């Protein structure tokens, strides 16, 4: 069966520090991968998605970047964190096709101080 791993679960980082969040998927090949951010009262906002290795699409301009160095690995990064980067970050994967649901990781709670 397919599983998705996301780490760390919680992270407290100072303003201006770098960020790296990792997400890996097991049990499937060539998944679509996504990074979402959840802010209180604002639902989930799609940040990045990827349909293959090295193929990244950004949905909103921001202080973050994403990379997909391997088929089932998706990394969210920042060179210098801002206070506004605080939030709950969720990685997800899906197979190709609009009728299929996305499967989510357990999320990372990022607090920038």
Partner 1 sequence: AQSVTQLGSHVSVSEGALVLLRCNYSSSVPPYLFWYVQYPNQGLQLLLKYTSAATLVKGINGFEAEFKKSETSFHLTKPSAHMSDAAEYFCAVTLDTGFQKLVFGTGTRLLVSP
Site residues (vs partner 1, CB under 8 A) = 6, 9, 32, 34, 36, 41-46, 49, 51, 88, 90, 92, 94, 96-107, 109
Q: How far is the CB of 5 from partner 1 (least distance, A)?
A: 11
Q: How far is the CB of 25 from partner 1 (least distance, A)?
A: 13
Residues 13, 113: Cα–Cα separation, whole Å: 6
Closer to partner 1 by CB, 14 or 43: give it: 43
Closer to partner 1 by CB, 70 or 100: give it: 100
Residues 63, 107: Cα–Cα separation, whole Å: 19
CB atoms within 10 A of CB 77: 13
- Within 8 A by CB and 6+ apart from 9, the residues are 106, 107, 108, 109
The answer to whether the beta carbons of residues 25 and 35 sit under 8 Å apart is: no
Closer to partner 1 by CB, 20 or 100: give it: 100
Q: How far is the CB of 80 from partner 1 (least distance, A)?
A: 26
Q: How far is the CB of 16 from partner 1 (least distance, A)?
A: 26
Residues 74, 6: Cα–Cα separation, whole Å: 9
Closer to partner 1 by CB, 79 or 86: give it: 86
């Amino acid at each position: 069966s397919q599983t998705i791993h996301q780490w760390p679960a919680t992270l407290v980082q100072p303003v201006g520090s770098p960020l790296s969040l990792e997400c890996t998927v097991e049990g499937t090949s060539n998944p679509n991968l996504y990074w979402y951010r959840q802010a209180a009262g604002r639902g989930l906002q799609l940040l990045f998605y990827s349909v293959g290795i090295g193929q990244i699409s950004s949905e909103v301009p921001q202080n973050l970047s994403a990379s997909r160095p391997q088929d089932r690995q998706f990394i969210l990064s920042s060179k210098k964190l801002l206070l506004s980067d605080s939030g709950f970050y969720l990685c997800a994967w899906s197979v190709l096709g609009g009728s299929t649901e996305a499967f989510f990781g357990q999320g990372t709670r990022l607090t920038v101080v």
